[in-house]
Structure 1
Amino acid sequence: MSASPNSSTDMWSIPLIALNMNVRKRLGLFLNPRNTVASDWMSVAENMGFSYLEIKNYEGCQNPTRKILDDWQSRCPEATVGKLLKLLEDSDRKDVVEDLRHLIDEDCRIYLEKQKEPPVQVPEVTSCIPRTLERHAITLEDDPEGGKPELFDAFICYCQDDFDFVREMIEQLERTEHKLKLCVFERDVLPGSCVWTITSELIEKRCKRMVVVISDEYLDSDACDFQTKFALSLSPGAQSKRLIPVKYKSMKKPFPSILRFLTVCDYTRPCTQSWFWVRLARALSLP
């Protein structure tokens, strides 16, 4: 299956992670409503191989389509864009494929372009210093002549609505005895560069870890979605404890399933707030 009648893109080789939040939301608009005429998310889930009990449990989700996509992506190596389109067609939902085809094509194009970026490390060099000119001088304290780059203990993944909590994080982790160095995009990154390129550079090569500030607003952010998935791709199975989810307020929406296997630093429980910052600082201070 190709991307479109006049495209040679092989979608069977493109992982499901290529589809951004906008496409996943639109899939939910088509598949979430229970339908007696057309197949809904249950039929797609069944074709994905989910069991009857799993599907029954998904009924309680606010967005079951998104849940099955996330879970299918995390547990099935064959979860590709091409496979998803085939499953939709097998479920007699060609209308969904046709309506979203241009958006899916665009997501796949962007994904393939990102894969063409030069490797971040050449075999004979083990240093993490950037090798491309466009990645010099991207933060306030970088050397514009291409010297040693500014490094951080953690990249903070957040949406604008949660910035007040990020300010508190700065106060508690940078300006106390912990003396950690956080990368806060709006504070530390110089304007004028490509957001996706610079974000990837910071997460992969400049920051030891990434703190993800989880909230309902986070779930609606394409930027946060990209940053989280990119960080997870660098640390499959969380072997290096690279990504740390932080929940600081109650949520109406389900916790993101893609992070369900990671230990959460929970600020919402009064009984644990007294050691919340010490615990988080300790995790960020590890080698």
Structure 2
Amino acid sequence: MACKDPEVDLWTVPLVALNVRVRKQLGLYLNPRSTVAPDWMAVAEAMGCTYLEMKNYESCVNPTKAVLEDWQARCSDATVGKLLSILSDEVERKDIVEDLRPLIDEDVRKYLDNQKKKAEPPLQVPEVDSCLPRTPERFGITLEDDPEGAPELFDAFICYCQSDFEFVHEMIRELEQTECRLKLCVFDRDVLPGSCVWTITSELIEKRCKRMVVVVSDEYLDSDACDFQTKFALSLCPGARNKRLIPVKYKPMTKPFPSILRFLTICDYTKPLTQSWFWVRLAKALSLP
């Protein structure tokens, strides 16, 4: 639940209140260099960074993260309110503020709650809980999971919408049932029913799958699940430094290609002249360590 208390002055809340999730999301918006919208360099300049400092940030994997950490360390006025003011007023990135405000408000609420708890005297615990060790929160989520062994791992998580399932079947035939012998995580086939979709999806993408293949189509653009999966995967690899996410276009589109994926190399099945190389290229990319 977002923090909606009008009495909370964000200008007094230190930047440390923002957790890793929000900082990763800021990196997704600001790290890619853009000639259209102000990027991390504009934010760094507004925070008072020098030319030499910004040149040094350019060599970072996540320059936005480095800028925020340095600003937080050196400036006493590095607050959540000041950051929002810079984004909205000084660099004119109100789109970022609008998209991330619910997450930011939630972090602020949690931070203030934690500060309040620290100020309260500790409670005396009358007795120790002697119940048996609890079962791990997420085990047995896929068909091949062994509750007493290692969790099932995959070469790639397939992000798709239901209307593209025929192409997913072809992908299974070409990548799993040939000499490629890759192991794909197809949600409708491999995940056991009864668990929270968002929790299980995050677990699979982050901890069980080396990469994620995004089947991009007009229908994909309207899918909330695909949008969540794509943004979550991108948050794990800002700037796509480790080739974790691979977009696949298998049919012509009438809508614009998603801007969040435009900086990634696409595996295009719609080009007749290169179609014979499609599966070889995709299999090789998924086979990398």
TM-score by length of 1: 0.61
Q: Check the 8 A contact 2:24/2:238 in 1, yes or no.
A: no
Question: Corresponding residue for 2:6?
Answer: 5
Alignment partner for residue 137 of structure 2, among 134, 139, 162?
A: 134
1:15-26 map, 5 Å:
17=25
Q: Check the 8 A contact 1:245/1:262 in 2, yes or no.
A: yes
CA distance in 1, matches of 2:186, 2:220: 15
Alignment partner for residue 170 of structure 2, among 163, 168, 171?
A: 168
CA distance in 1, matches of 2:154, 2:188: 15
Write out per-residue CA displacement over residues 126-158 of structure 1, whole angstroms, 9 at most, x where no aligned residue: xxxxx971211000000123x111111100011
Question: Corresponding residue for 1:143?
Answer: 146
Question: Quick check: which has more Rg, 1 or 2?
Answer: 2
TM-score by length of 2: 0.60
CA distance in 2, matches of 1:16, 1:280: 27
Alignment partner for residue 198 of structure 2, among 193, 196, 199?
A: 196
- Per the TM alignment, residue 239 of structure 1 is displaced from its structure 2 partner at its CA by 2.0
SS at match of 2:202: helix
CA distance in 2, matches of 1:270, 1:112: 54
Change (3 A) 1:76 1:144: closer
Change (3 A) 1:276 1:135: same
1:149 partner letter: P
1:36-185 map, 5 Å:
105=102, 109=106, 133-145=136-148, 147-185=149-187
The total of aligned residue pairs comes to 215
- Per the TM alignment, residue 17 of structure 1 is displaced from its structure 2 partner at its CA by 3.8
Alignment partner for residue 253 of structure 2, among 251, 261, 268?
A: 251
Q: Check the 8 A contact 1:154/1:182 in 2, yes or no.
A: yes
Change (3 A) 1:232 1:218: same
CA distance in 1, matches of 2:160, 2:80: 27
CA distance in 2, matches of 1:260, 1:6: 41
Root-mean-square deviation (Å):
4.1
Identify unmatched segments of 5+ residues in structure 1: 19-44, 51-73, 91-95, 114-130
Write out per-residue CA displacement over residues 179-237 of structure 1, whole angstroms, 9 at most, x where no aligned residue: 11100011100011111221111111111111011112212222212211221122222
> Which sits farther off after the overlay, 77-86 or 261-270?
77-86
